[in-house]
Structures are given as structure tokens and as C-alpha cells.
Structure 1
């Protein structure tokens, strides 16, 4: 079985993205909802192992930036950032970080 963690960094302000809402979905639908802590992490999103399969993390980035006082156009360029990823059999720990600004984002499989 595999484990999952995530971390969100606000590249516009150069800090962890605290208070950013996110949703984890898997092969059978929604698994969990959470919000990043002061360090931009969501340590309690998944309490146990996850089976191999396809998953998605959806990050509510426009809501986060608006709450941080950033004026965004309507509609915003990025509203929800969705990262679709697969977890293979015996894949171990999957760390899925998100580096985000109102106009760009990047991700990778971290450690």
C-alpha cells in the first residue's frame, strides 16, 4: 500500500500557503477534504494507506489568493488546480507538492 502527503507553497508571496482548501479523490470518488496548516501542509488528509490507482488533488487556489488580499480578475486565470496522478503497486510514499501563484503552478513527485 502507498501513503500520500502534500505541501503547498505560495510563490507570489514566498511563503507556505496556509488555509488553502483541497480535496482528494480516488477511483471510487471523494476520499477526503482538508485545509493546509501554517506550514502549507495537510498532515491529516489521509490517515492510512491508499490502494494503487488513479487519484486527484484539487486545490482551491483562487479562494486562497482572494483571502490573502490579492485582487483577481473575474473569472480568475486559475480557480482550482487539479493534479491527476497515479499510485503504482509498491510505490511507497507519494509526496505531491504544489508551487502556485495566481497565474502559474508546478508540481512534481517529491520525497
Structure 2
């Protein structure tokens, strides 16, 4: 049985992104449905998988990270409006038996992701 997990890496400070609000949505025919809300722990991870077991289903999903709020709370001087604010990563799960790890590597000016396991 597969699972979905994430973590946040703050490459501006070279540390995990602790305290980042994360929302997980399923997307069906253009309609978003909120599945879960979490806040990352001191290691920049959620305390448990976002989805696991029978909850992992093939389909389209979105992870939304409140990166701008995180950087503001860190005391970073941000422009108004923020260049990077809410980061949305749209991705698909094709095989529910596999593990999908979707991390966010972020600064106030850039971000990237990749598929881990």
C-alpha cells in the first residue's frame, strides 16, 4: 500500500521549513476538495503521511504551501505583494501502491520540487 508525504526545505537559511501550513486537495473535473491541513514540524515534515493505505487513490492532487507566511514569520523582509506567497504543486498519482514524496525546496524568490519515494 502506498502513501503520500511531503517536507519543506528553506534553502535561504539552510534548514527545514518548520511551521509551514500545508493543504492537500484532490482535483476532479476542475473541482478542488480539501482533504487535509497540516503544519510542518521542526524537521520540516508532517507528523504522519498526508495519505496512506486505502486513502491513496489514482488521480490529480494539489499541495498548497503557505511559504510567504512562513518567511514573514522568520523575519524575512518581503516585498508587497510577495513574490513567492502560496506555492501550489499540482501532481498526479498513477499507481496507488507506490509511495509519493512531494517536497518543496523554497526561498522567497524561487522554489522547486521533485518526486521522491
TM-score by structure 2 length? 0.88
1:16-65 alpha-carbon deviations (Å, 9 max, x no partner): 00000010001360000000000000133525331100000000000000
Residue ranges of structure 2 left out of the alignment (5+ in a row): none
Runs of 4+ in 1 over 4 A off after TM superposition: none
Task: Go from structure 1 to structure 2 and tell me whether the alpha carbon gap of 1:33 and 1:45 turns closer, same or farther (over 3 Å shift).
Answer: farther
CA distance in 2 between counterparts of 1:95 and 1:5 reads: 5
User: Which residue number corresponds to residue 37 of structure 2?
Assistant: 33
- Please point out which of 42, 46, 58 is paired with 2:46: 42
Structure 1, 47-56 or 97-106: larger mean CA deviation = 47-56
Structure 1, 50-59 or 23-32: larger mean CA deviation = 23-32
Provide the alpha-carbon RMSD of the alignment. Answer: 1.5
Paired residues, what number? 111
Residue ranges of structure 1 left out of the alignment (5+ in a row): none
TM-score by structure 1 length? 0.93
